Amino acid sequence: MKHIKLFTSLLIYFSVVTPVFGATNAYAESGTTPKTPIEHFIVVMQQNHTFDNYFGTYPGANGIQKDTCMPVSLANEKASCVSPFRITNEPISDLSHSDVIFSKQYQNGKMNGFIDALKQLNQNGTLSMGYYDEKDIPYYWNLADQYVLFDNYFSSAHTGSITNRMFWVSGRAGREFNRIPEGGFGDIPTIFDKLQERGISWKFYIRNYEPSLNYRTLKELDYLPPQVQWVPLLSFDRFLDDPELSSRIVDFSEYYKDLENGTLPAVSYVLLLGATEHPISDPGLGEKATQTMLQALMQSDSWKSSAFFLTYDDWGGWYDHVPPPQVDERGYGFRVPSLLISPYARQGHIDHTLLDHTSILKFIEENWDLPPLAERDAKANNFTSAFDFSGSPRPPVFIAATREAPAPRIQPRRIVIYAAYGAAMLFAFLILARAAMATTKENLQRSSYEPSLHEEIKP
């Protein structure tokens, strides 16, 4: 009987354990196993804000400096200046953010042309000094409290969305400066090509996706649709014509289906079209969309092995006080807000590592053992310092959409305090009195039959 039980136990053991080890070896052979516990990497790229514009007053971060005052005019030394101010009821406009504006605002590192550059275009340059704070974007500030905020993350290029987003997917600026070439981006390799070659799953989710809109339809239009401008893959022939590639560019609704079905890919890029926070839109729309994404992720089985990265493509004309390092003729551009949310993210951590959009490529490449795409991502820093892989993944926590002040303590009336003290003293006196009476009674009873401690006890 013992032999039968032993044989049955061994049979069950090998039937369970052997497939597990077999799967592990298969992953190892295919080279798709990530080098960190992060099996799902999700990147959301929003629009047109600087670090100082969103987190310039966040405690502990490298934010707006004391006594900052931006000259209204560089031509007039006696001109007045404008200090950074919180945006309240100020009318918002889409500030110019071309490479020309960058140069005039940057002023060879003096960082003193933010107002003057916009005024030369008859725009409200004063608006560039406005900022939001915890009252305006409370959810993002709450995320920073719980996870990681990067205060040394720069946009990759001096100019706008097209070039910065090309750096995001390919580590290169593209073929023309912030323009989609007439024939598309040709054979420039992207991170998705490398993932596809290695059999590593990926998707590009687009909110309100319209599959018929791509760079080929621009000839029939008199405007540049945001979907085409902000999704570089829609300007590559192979990502339009090859079903193996085009089928991975999908509507945003599939993100929630993939979470529910346990089919979230290894790498996900996301465009929240209609909620990108692009001025003049309300930043709250982006917050709500991000919150919905994160709550769904946290409620799924994928949370324990995921990292969610939120960043912005360019500065949008807004003020930032940190001069961007110039690594080549194209960049860097000004700092942009960036957050990392993950069960392995350091809690309440402000990371000062020098980063840019190609650092996202760097993480993907090092996590899944892929070669660099270009010189930029090869030299870029990784943001692994923002993770703590030494322990177990943190369980999800509910992140509120409001920042609530601690509830004020209710001060009781003095008569209530005095009554409470009096009752406590009376209670203590009664306990002591009762204890004394019990001790006296015990001594009287003991004296009749117990010997003294100094007496000899006879057998």
Predicted model pTM: 0.82
Please give the pLDDT value at position 222: 86
Amino acid symbol at 13: Y
User: Is 24 exposed, middle or buried (CB count within 10 Å of its CB: 0-12, 13-18, 19+)?
Assistant: exposed
Q: What is the pLDDT of residues 228-239, one digit of tens each?
A: 999 999 999 999
Does residue 430 surpass a pLDDT of 90? no
Q: What is the pLDDT of residues 33-89, one digit of tens each?
A: 999 999 999 999 999 999 999 999 999 999 999 999 999 999 987 889 999 999 998
Please give the pLDDT value at position 89: 84
**Which of 345, 336, 319 minimizes the C-alpha distance to 151?**
336
The pLDDT confidence band at residue 426, using thresholds 50, 70 and 90, is low
Residue 320 backbone zone (phi > 0: left; psi -120 to 50: alpha; other: beta): beta
Please give the pLDDT value at position 454: 34
Does residue 18 surpass a pLDDT of 50? no
Q: What is the mean pLDDT of residues 99-116?
A: 97
**Cβ atoms of residues 249 and 190 within 8 Å:** no
Phi/psi for 131 (5° steps) reads -145, 160
Q: What is the pLDDT of residues 155-192, one digit of tens each?
A: 999 998 999 999 999 999 997 778 999 999 999 999 99
The pLDDT confidence band at residue 411, using thresholds 50, 70 and 90, is very low
Q: What is the pLDDT of residues 197-229, one digit of tens each?
A: 999 999 999 999 999 999 999 988 888 999 999
CATH topology of domain 37-52+134-386: Alkaline Phosphatase, subunit A (3.40.720)
The pLDDT confidence band at residue 26, using thresholds 50, 70 and 90, is very low
User: What DSSP string describes 379-418?
Assistant: HPPP-GGGB--SSPPPPP-PPPSS-PPPPPPPPPPHHHHH
